[in-house]
Structure 1
């Protein structure tokens, strides 16, 4: 089973559309060093998606 993690990026690593909205940080779910989600606008959003993925794995 692959484990995913939450990765944060800040500053110029934040995609330009999010920076244009005033965000200075964003979060991604990462598995085996590769992003498995698009940029998420908050840590709680990343945590919620992580829990959803965990639930899917348990019920698969």
Structure 2
């Protein structure tokens, strides 16, 4: 069984639209090494989405 994990990216890896908003980091949900969400603006948003998709199986 694969886990949903949270991956963070910083600096130039942050998509340009988020950098233009002043964000220097963003988060993605990944499963089996593949992104399953778009960039999220906060860790709390990533945790909430992860728990709504896969309750009880969060690995950060």
Query: Any stretches of 5+ residues in structure 1 without a counterpart?
Result: 56-60
**Which has the bigger relative contact order, CA under 8 A and spacing at least 6?**
2
Let me know the Cα RMSD of the aligned residues: 0.7
| TM-score, normalised relative to structure 1 | 0.87
- Pick the structure with greater CA Rg: 1
User: Which runs of at least 4 in structure 1 moved beyond 4 Å after TM superposition?
Assistant: none
Query: Any stretches of 5+ residues in structure 2 without a counterpart?
Result: 56-60
| TM-score, normalised relative to structure 2 | 0.87
